[in-house]
Amino acid sequence: MVDSRILSFSERLEPALANVIVRHDLEGRALTVAYSGGLDSTVLLHALQRIAPLLNLRLTAVHVHHGLSKNANEWADHCAQTCASLNIDLSVINVFVKPLCGEGVEAAARKVRLDALLTHSSGQVCMAHHADDQAETLYMRIRRGSSLKGLQGILAKRDDLVVRPFLHLTKSSLIQYAKNHQLKWREDDSNQKTIFARNKTRLIILPYLESKTPGIMSILAHTASLSHEVYPKVLEKANHFFKTIEVSKENWPFPANYSPYSKVLCISSKKWNEAYAKMGNGLIEILRLKLDSMGIYFPMDDFLHFIQTENQNRYHYRESHIEKSKFFLWFYSTADAQNIDNLYLFEKNKRFSGEWRYRQEGDRFTPPGSKYKKRKLKQWLQEKGIPLWIRDYLPLLVQNADVLWIPGVAVSGKLEPTERTP
């Protein structure tokens, strides 16, 4: 919970920081500061260095060099000088940012930066996110539509790998601390570009909301704190519920290791339909929570439309979502053989046999609707608009070099039923 009594302090920043370190059981441990050279991380580095002797902290810093700005080398030099003045070891890590399909530069840079920090840290990574960042994050997630997991916002501590000790402090308190201690920092020239969604939220939208509803920033941060308290309890209930409708691995209608992603939720369609009849769309929200906890992206709007208009006994991701999804969700029924998913037919019909693997050079595929016209798999996937980073990681059921099935994408035309086949 955000305490309004401490949102505007400056002189008390260091004691408050020390309390957070102790509360998260980090006393006497190695901490690596994610140091960009900006205001927030500069204040964090300086304050941690001052309290380090008291709490027996072993400090290092990592600067991630993206190369995205013409000033990137200057920032790295500044970080080196600052760390030298504070007697803190600094590692400068050069990375290459390449956005994936449908991903912006901001999101791609955040992923690359976190990977570099976790790889090169000497202990828990300390990041300088503050209450204003929390408000921004929560607003953006609410705007996009978020599950309860997303409403937690930025986590104060993540898997004992990342800690954010400034989440209860406002940006203004950090500015005041920097002025009091005459700190020097560098401003990222991209922070003022409102073409980026987060910058537009920070510079235009939230100031407007704050002018119309004073205190909205604190309210958003408080909402994130409450969601964080509630989430584990709700998730526990969701997991308990799904135990009653999940199909155990031993009873899956397909090999338990069929997916290289190893994240599959197999549900009895009979039990699902029974629950859906009682709970309606409330069941969808429980499903969203369950999938979130498994790390599975799921297009809920599409699913709601599908469940109401199509056969409820099976579901595939639509091709329009394939590039956003690396996982597959399966509904299965042993009672209704006509509506069982194709993989179930493979298991029951012995003439369909093959191996599960990734794409290889020379793979051929017979498109749906055609019995004999084989195509190069690479070429066919390109025509379907499936990006390279997806094509290389799709699980395939293959017989020799003949692809029988691409889960979530298509089944070979050779396997389409005729009057002679089931």
* Residue 223 covered by a domain: yes
**Tokens at residue 16, please?**
């408050």
C-alpha radius of gyration, the chain, whole number: 26
H or E element in which residue 54 lies: helix 39-55
Average the pLDDT over each of 49-58, 124-133, 189-198 and give the range with the smallest value: 189-198
Instruction: Compute CA distances 34 → 56, 57, 131, 351, whole Å.
Output: 19, 15, 17, 56
**Averaged pLDDT of the chain:** 75
* Residue 158 covered by a domain: yes
Neighbouring residues of 69: CB distance < 8 A, sequence distance ≥ 6: 75, 188, 189, 190
- Do 335 and 288 belong together in one domain? yes
Quick check: 134 and 224 in contact, CB under 8 A? yes
Neighbouring residues of 50: CB distance < 8 A, sequence distance ≥ 6: 14
Residue that finishes a domain, picked among 319, 348, 377: 348
* DSSP string for residues in 225-275: HHHHHHHHHHHHHHHHHHTTTBPPGGG-SS-TT--TT--EEEEEHHHHHHH
Q: What are phi and psi of 331, to 5 degrees?
A: -110, 140
C-beta neighbour count of 281 within 10 angstroms: 11
Report d(CA 20, CA 272) in Å as an integer: 44
**pLDDT of 289-314, one tens digit each?**
887 777 665 544 444 444 443 333 33
Neighbouring residues of 339: CB distance < 8 A, sequence distance ≥ 6: 311, 313, 314, 333
**Tokens at residue 368, please?**
């749906």
* Residue 260 covered by a domain: yes
Report d(CA 44, CA 126) in Å as an integer: 8
- Do 226 and 275 belong together in one domain? no
Maximum average pLDDT range among 4-18, 22-36, 265-279: 22-36
Maximum average pLDDT range among 95-109, 158-172, 374-388: 158-172
Q: Is the pLDDT of residue 181 over 80?
A: yes
CATH number for the domain including 78?
A: 3.40.50.620
- Do 327 and 370 belong together in one domain? no
Residue that finishes a domain, picked among 233, 258, 275: 233
The single-letter DSSP state of residue 146 is -
* Residue 278 covered by a domain: yes
**What is the span of the domain harbouring residue 104?**
4-233
Total count of domains within the chain = 3
Query: Which of 126, 62, 119 lies closest to 88 in space, CA to CA?
Result: 62
Query: Which of 362, 388, 366 lies closest to 375 in space, CA to CA?
Result: 366
Residue that finishes a domain, picked among 348, 371, 387: 348
**pLDDT of 32-91, one tens digit each?**
999 999 999 999 999 999 999 989 999 999 999 887 778 888 999 999 999 999 999 999
* Residue 238 covered by a domain: no
- Do 333 and 363 belong together in one domain? no
Comparing 77 with 344, the larger pLDDT belongs to 77
Stretch 310-327: mean pLDDT, rounded? 33
Quick check: 59 and 33 in contact, CB under 8 A? yes
The single-letter DSSP state of residue 8 is T
Residue 396: which pLDDT band, with cuts at 50, 70 and 90?
A: confident
Comparing 264 with 340, the larger pLDDT belongs to 264
Q: Is the pLDDT of residue 318 over 80?
A: no
**pTM for the complete prediction?**
0.64
Neighbouring residues of 123: CB distance < 8 A, sequence distance ≥ 6: 29, 30, 31, 32, 58, 60
- Do 292 and 339 belong together in one domain? yes
- Do 279 and 191 belong together in one domain? no
- Do 169 and 254 belong together in one domain? no
Maximum average pLDDT range among 220-224, 282-286, 301-305: 220-224
- Do 65 and 192 belong together in one domain? yes
Maximum average pLDDT range among 21-25, 334-338, 345-349: 21-25
- Do 168 and 23 belong together in one domain? yes
In this prediction, residue 90 carries a pLDDT of: 93
Residue 165: which pLDDT band, with cuts at 50, 70 and 90?
A: very high
Residue-wise over 77-106: b if at least 16 C-beta within 10 A, else e?
ebbbebbeebebebbbbeeebeeeeeeeee
Report d(CA 146, CA 129) in Å as an integer: 20
* Residue 400 covered by a domain: yes
Report d(CA 171, CA 203) in Å as an integer: 13
* DSSP string for residues in 57-80: -EEEEEEEE---STTHHHHHHHHH
pLDDT above 90 covers a percentage of the chain that reads 20
- Do 254 and 362 belong together in one domain? no
In this prediction, residue 345 carries a pLDDT of: 35
- Do 191 and 161 belong together in one domain? yes
In this prediction, residue 163 carries a pLDDT of: 93
Residue whose entry in the numeric block shows the structure tokens 């922070």: 191
* Residue 315 covered by a domain: yes
Comparing 6 with 69, the larger pLDDT belongs to 69
* Residue 283 covered by a domain: yes
- Do 34 and 77 belong together in one domain? yes
Q: What are phi and psi of 62, to 5 degrees?
A: -130, 130
